[in-house]
Amino acid sequence: DIVMTQSPLSLPVAPGEPASISCRSSQSLLHSNGYNYLDWYLQRPGQSPQRLIYLGANRAPGVPARFTAITSGTDFTLKISRVEAEDVGIYYCMQALQTPWTFGQGTKVEIK
Amino acid sequence: HLVESGGGVVQTGRSLRLSCTATGFTFDSHVIHWVRQAPGKGLEWVALISRDGRNADYRDSVKGRFAISRDNSKNTVIMQMNSLRPEDTAVYYCAREDYTIVQGNEYHYGMDLWGQGTTVTVSS
């Protein structure tokens, strides 16, 4: 199975400050179509997960522009330019290249 | 929308049948997944079923115990869970896989629609 490793696991951030979450895969997530099969999801407290990013760096419809994602080999990063109160929750990376699809451990973002 | 049902409290070794019912989209155009979340833990992918229901895949820990099926005429996916274990205790979500096709190639767009979850508790 592909192992996804996130860091940090906890991230307190002051409102308006930037935040960055890292995710590393144990093997390449590059599909034969040239895209990384890596998604990012946010699970707000008490809610179901929601899609933020797909194919490594593509923002899903309705996701604010303050969320960006970059890829570099097996390293993936989700960046929030200026954290807002509604960004609180647990962020997960997930690989969809091969089954079983696997998630990172999750990064809990909270407001300082 | 996706709506899960069928969760409950059962003893080890017993069975449960989860349902995931869809509304508002072309159901048979999408692969459907089950993802679970144990209390206080992270997300764990469980299984998927293809658009026509002919193909399914499972994580190793549930292979031979869980069976996923779908009835596209009823916009429903069923996951039959047998020989349940305490470690199967979790909230179970069904999720729709989004995709696009460009020049005959399919591209994964993530799981864009999730249900609210149904809780399964297996007591030992």
Nearest to A54 among B35, B45, B108 (CB): B108
A 10 A CB-CB count for B20 gives 27
Distance CA A107, CA B6 (A): 30
Planar angle of CA B73, B79, B82, nearest 5 degrees: 145
**pLDDT tens for chain A, residues 1 to 112:** 999 999 999 999 999 999 999 999 999 999 999 999 999 999 999 999 999 999 999 999 999 999 999 999 999 999 999 999 999 999 999 999 999 999 999 999 999 9
Nearest to A49 among B43, B48, B107 (CB): B43
pLDDT in tens, A11-42: 999 999 999 999 999 999 999 999 999 999 99
Cα→Cα distances B35→A32, A94, B95, B117, Å: 26, 12, 7, 9
Tokens for B104, please give them. 């005959």
Q: How far is CA B45 from the centre of its chain?
A: 9
Q: Which residue of A has its CA nearest to B110?
A: A54
Please tell me the distance in Å from B45's CA to the nearest CA on chain A.
6
pLDDT in tens, B59-91: 999 999 999 999 999 999 999 999 999 999 999
The length of chain B is 124
Cβ–Cβ gap B108/A41 under 8 Å: no
Q: Which residues 6+ apart lie within 8 Å of A47 measured at CB?
A: A89
